[in-house]
Structure 1
Amino acid sequence: MSSAESQQIWTRAEAYHNSFLIPKDEVLDKIVENSRANGLLNISVSAAQGKFLHLLARSIGAKKILEVGTLGGYSTTWFARAVPEDGAVTTLEVDPQCVRVATENLATAGLVHKVEIILGPAAETLETLSPTPIPFDLVFIDADKEGNATYFKHAKRLVRKGGIIIVDNVVRDGKVADLENKDSMVEGARRLLEVLKADPEVSATTISTVGEKGYDGFTFALKL
């Protein structure tokens, strides 16, 4: 079976399940349309992944969420819908165009009051954040993959004990396990795995995924 045929099967299967489990959402559709109209890359999480993040945040009663990598605010919207009215999502983005579009999209969703977008290099912004007086409940890392290990170390510092850290795009079509592949994003995923292996303060696993976004996966870590 060719890779194109596999992709067709994955996309069809995801759409089928979504037709039962994820109602049509005009707001999210507008967010996707506006992001594309403004030239943003189509690299946000899928609808199924967005709902998974939403349900995960709700299942742990998250009130304070940190996101590294905003893009057009699609996953940000799922998170902001998950936290209560007195909750908050802090999201970090280096690209001013993404910040502008995400701000528009969050306004469309009526969620600006729950979200703080901080413009600047994430590694520098993370240095300024503190876990006091209230640590984050959940951190979602979906930015440049070369920075994964750095972002994770900060996330662990900022999240509460029992809190969750998710790092997206860590399988990359299986390329991370191909040691001949020296792509910088692949190497970034490997550095993260080395950090996790040596850290007794977290317990983690990687879940591979297939769907409309192709073959990839995310690492799920629990701060002990």
Structure 2
Amino acid sequence: MLTPEQYTNELFEKDEVLERVKLSLADKGIRDISVEPAYGKLLTMLVRLSRAKNVLEIGVLGGYSGICLARGLDRDGKLVSLELKEEFAELAQSHLDEAGYGHQVEYMTGPALDSLEILKQQGRKFDFYFIDADKENYPNYLEYAISLANPGAVIVADNLLLRGRTLNEEKNGPAVLAMRKFNETIARDERLISTILPSYDGLALAIVK
């Protein structure tokens, strides 16, 4: 019997643009840790529903999530993508160019916390955030997202369950502890209206009050 996730994935036809991103990662021997297809569709819907003009993405890889985010933007919308590795930023740029959104994206390479501090010093503000990067810094990324948020900004974060490690009391490594702290903040912080979707590897959704 199919899992709910498998059933959902099979309902939709494969997206040729996004499939090319995944094939490119495989060809280059890069581990594909892109957002799940159903959550990619959700990103597009949420950007469109929120009418976001300025979107910030933390973690780029091959540009899969960047394409999903850009699809929700109007033509004058902008995407800022933070990526540690220059090679991934260049790969993502090529895929965004191919998909027709390259002119709407700005890449900042290097440690994301450094880039976030630069954006803060510049006084930049954003309407939508997608966090899918190194897990130990999720609590820090959340604080920056809140501080850089326009009122009503949406924050989305992937991989909350860490393939089950977050739920396992015997697992207490740095990434697990950081994710538990992040999840608790999402659930309880009075600055946010939030929920957590438990399907796939877990997805956080929050609105900044």
Which of 64, 67, 70 does residue 77 from structure 1 map onto? 67
Residue type at the aligned position of 2:174: S
**Alpha-carbon distance, 1:148 to partner:** 0.1
TM-score, normalised by the number of residues in structure 1 = 0.85
Instruction: Specify the alignment match of 1:91 in structure 2.
Output: 81
Tell me how many residue pairs correspond in the alignment. Answer: 209
The 3 A distance-change label for structure 1 pair 84 and 132 is farther
Out of 116-125 and 127-136, give the one that drifted further.
Answer: 127-136
Q: CA RMSD in A?
A: 2.0
Alignment partner, residue 14 of structure 1? 8
Give the aligned partner of residue 218 of structure 1: 203
Write the distance in 2 (CA, Å) between the matches of 1:114 and 1:175.
36
- 1:146: Cα distance to partner? 0.5
**Do structure 1's residue 156 and structure 2's residue 150 form an aligned pair?**
no
Establish whether residue 184 from structure 1 lines up as the match of residue 174 from structure 2: yes
Unpaired stretches in structure 1, ≥5 consecutive residues: 211-215
How far apart, CA to CA, are the structure 2 residues paired with 1:25 and 1:180? 39
Give structure 2 stretches of 5+ with no counterpart. Answer: none
8 Å CA contact 1:34, 1:105 repeated in 2: no
- C-alpha displacement of 1:133: 6.4
TM-score by length of 2: 0.91
Q: Kindly indicate whether the alpha-carbon contact (under 8 Å) linking 1:65 and 1:89 is maintained by their aligned counterparts in 2.
A: yes
String of CA shifts for 1:65-123, please: whole Å, max 9, x gaps. 00000110001011112111111000100012211211111121121100011111001
- Which protein, 1 or 2, shows the higher relative CO under an 8 Å CA cutoff with sep ≥ 6? 1
**Bigger shift: residues 66-75 or 133-142:** 133-142
| Equivalent position SS for 1:107 | helix
**Contact 1:66–1:139, Cα closer than 8 Å, also in 2:** yes
Of 164, 167, 172 in structure 2, the residue corresponding to residue 174 of structure 1 is 164
1:213 equivalent in structure 2 = none
